[in-house]
Amino acid sequence: MKPYYTEPGIEIRLGDCRSILPGLGKVDLVCTDPPYGIGMAARGRIGTSKCAQVTDYGKSNWDDFPPSPETISQIISAGEHSIVWGGNFFGLPASSCWLVWDKDNTGDFADCELAWTNLDMAVRMFKWRWNGMLQENMGAKEKREHPTQKPLALMRWCLGWVPDAQTILDPFMGSGTTLVAAKLLGRRAIGIELEERYCEIAVRRLAQGVLPLRISEAPRIVEAELPLP
């Protein structure tokens, strides 16, 4: 299948990851945020009249159900290492290392989100405000173009825990944050996304050019910036 988009070190595939994954070789790291099956996309709008900001993403059905256990197993098997956000929804096996994102949240959403990993280390936590119009770095706010979009700093932090992983795969790419983080770190990355509108957003974000985050925005990442192959 011809990629939807390519640039040096980065590739985007448009389609269902279940049919695309068998044609890809095994990667070093799967880092992804699958649908949790909580109906977030069906709402269309994020925020309430009590909030200072309400965003309309358009109604969709991609979050009506979580991926099947077979799909989750297929995704994890695609990489040597795996980081799966929302892992507490998928019945995954016991792990010594969960990644915890403290959203510094004062609203109605969860205070934290959890990522299951198969990494051989202890539980780690990252605190980064992501609360409606309030973000940790208000001087360089990120445009939120997907209802479950993760902060760039968070995804870069995730990749920092597997510094030897040179090829990253995100089978539920969304607006492309994992790919942008990989590009910042000089890693090769493949993204798969079912909806073309999000592929378009990811392409635009990658083409805009990205600058390294300040050290204070990316704790625990000590690897050097590597050139893209």
Mean pLDDT (the chain) is 82
Indicate the pLDDT class of residue 104, thresholds 50, 70 and 90.
confident
In order of their start, the domains of the chain are 5-217 (3.40.50.150)
pLDDT exceeds cutoff 90 at 54: no
Minimum mean pLDDT range among 27-41, 93-107, 154-168, 170-184: 27-41
Higher pLDDT, 60 or 206: 206
User: 215: helix, coil or strand?
Assistant: helix
Q: Give residue 219's pLDDT band: very low, low, confident or very high (50, 70, 90).
A: very low
Mean pLDDT confidence for 123-128: 93
Instruction: Provide the whole-model pTM.
Output: 0.81
Over residues 157-169, the mean pLDDT reads 98
Which of 165, 171, 167, 178 shows the shortest CA–CA distance to 205?
A: 178
Calculate the CA 72 to chain-centre distance: 15
Joined together, the tokens standing for residue 92 give 């995954």
* Residue that the structure tokens 């096996």 belong to: 93
Choose the weakest-confidence range: 48-57, 76-85, 204-213.
48-57
Q: For 137-163, what is the mean pLDDT? A: 85
Question: What pLDDT is recorded for position 39?
Answer: 56
Instruction: Give me the mean pLDDT over the 89-101 stretch.
Output: 96
Question: What pLDDT score does 64 carry?
Answer: 73
E strands of the chain, at which residues?
5-7, 10-14, 27-32, 45-46, 55-56, 79-85, 98-102, 112-117, 124-127, 130-131, 134-135, 167-170, 188-193
- Cα–Cα distance measured from residue 154 to residue 178, given in angstroms and rounded to the nearest whole number: 9
pLDDT, mean of residues 26-31: 98
